[in-house]
Amino acid sequence: MATIKDVAKQAGVSVATVSRVLNDNGYVHEDTRKLVIEAIQQLSYKPNEVARSLFKKKSRLIGLLLPDIRNPFFPELARGIEDEIQEQGYQLIIGNIDEKYPKEMDYIQTFEQNNVTGIITATNLTGRSHYDDLSSPVVFLDRTFNDHPSVFVDGIEGGRMAASELVKRGSKRITILKGPAQLQTAQDRFNGAIAELRSANVDFSVIETSSFSFSDAEIWAEELFEKYPDTDGILASNDVVAAAVMHEALRLGKAIPEDLQLIGFDDIPLSRLLFPPLSTIRQPAYDMGKEAAKLLIRLINKETHFEKNIQMPVMFIERQTTRKVEENG
């Protein structure tokens, strides 16, 4: 790999001049600039980002922490972030926590040690505060944490909406899968849902779950139908769990949506492809990623006067695990 010295020698100038050309900084004579650019091309020189980062104490890297890359919701977030930051010349490092939260600390440390310019995290457990004394800006995505910058949806409203749609379509004995207790977002959905059900005076039961993972979801699904075989409406904590529940329901011979209605949460790509296609509360994951990235870049650039807590809309996506509202309205 050619270094800046090689380029300087080749162009017959000093390294400072090469650096000026590279960074479009200070004064460089047009003729000199041409010489340098030619030398750069001849040697196909690429600046060493490590050296650059050492001096500047900033890299072009942005760190992203995800709870579980196997849950399709999170890659979708990542894609939004990626598209946004690449336009600005940044690069994404993804750290997968795998729902093992001690890993979170390790990744944060690695990010810091590698001078990341900013961090976007979708992993913070409620009540933890190891993000407080970081030198780089942090954006919380799909999470909120004190008054830190964040991009999120209104989970309470989402839960309420799901419950309301289910009730509107005639479910009488609803079962809620309550997501992991440590996750504020999951609790918000849950609280929104039960508030709605109580005010509508509808009977409901609750199944507690402790993760969003594919492999665990099947267990909750089985438990659900053992405990509440006559449930006629289910609010799943997310689409992955909903897929597992639907699978189990069909296996047991239940008719969806006639005997049993089901609403998920997230609207991951596969939800459309399930059969019947899953009705769900959509979180605009890709756009949330984009917004988080924009927010982070503003923080990095030390801009002022912009909204630091961005709430994105949830939306009921009516597919075929819920009945038509006219039928029962």
Partner DNA sequence: ATTAAATGTGTAATCGGTTACATGGTGTGA
Partner DNA sequence: TCACACCATGTAACCGATTACACATTTAAT
Decide: is 117 part of the binding site for DNA (CB under 7 A). no
Cβ at position 266, least distance to its own copies in Å:
13
Q: Is the dihedral of CA 145, 296, 287, 101 positive or negative?
A: negative
Shortest separation between residue 87's beta carbon and DNA, angstroms: 20
Based on CB atoms, which residue is closest to DNA, 28 or 299? Answer: 28
Q: What is the C-alpha to C-alpha distance for residues 119 and 138, in angstroms, rounded to an integer?
A: 5
Nearer Cβ to its own copies (94/202): 94
Q: Could you say which residues in the range 43-62 bind DNA, by CB under 7 A?
A: 45, 47-48, 51-52, 54-57
Residue 273 interacting with DNA (CB under 7 A): no
Contact residues for 199 (Cβ-Cβ < 8 A; gap 6+): none
39 lies in the site for DNA, by CB under 7 A: no
Give the list of residues 6+ apart from residue 125 with CB closer than 8 angstroms, or none.
Answer: 101, 104, 182, 183
CB nearer to DNA: give 3 or 164: 3
Q: Which does 226 bind (CB under 5 to 8 A by kind): DNA, its own copies, none?
A: none
Contacts of 212 (CB under 8 A, 6+ apart): 67, 68, 71, 99, 179, 180, 237, 238, 240, 241
CA 6 to CA 125: how far, in whole Å?
49
Q: Which is nearer to its own copies, 175 or 271 (CB)?
A: 271
Q: What 3-state class would DSSP assign to 59?
A: coil
Q: How far is the CB of 133 from DNA (least distance, A)?
A: 16
Residue ranges that bind its own copies, judged by CB under 8 A: 1, 46-51, 53-54, 59-61, 69-70, 72, 75-76, 78-79, 82, 91-96, 98, 107, 109-110, 112-115, 135, 214-215, 217-218, 243-244, 246-247, 250-251, 269-270, 272-275, 277
Residue 37 or 200: which CB sits closer to its own copies? Answer: 37
Among 17, 150, 231, 321, binds DNA (CB under 7 A): 17
Tell me, rounded to whole angstroms, the distance of Cα 321 from its chain centroid.
25
Q: How far is the CB of 25 from DNA (least distance, A)?
A: 5
Residue entry with tokens 């300087």: 8
Distance from C-alpha of 108 to C-alpha of 123, rounded to nearest angstrom = 11
Tell whether residue 30 is a contact of DNA (CB under 7 A).
yes
Contacts of residue 24, defined as CB under 8 A and 6 or more positions apart, other chains included, come to none
Distance CA 95, CA 80 (A): 16
Using rule CB under 7 A, residue 110 touches DNA: no
Binding site for DNA (CB under 7 A): 1, 3-5, 12-20, 22-23, 25-32, 45, 47-48, 51-52, 54-57
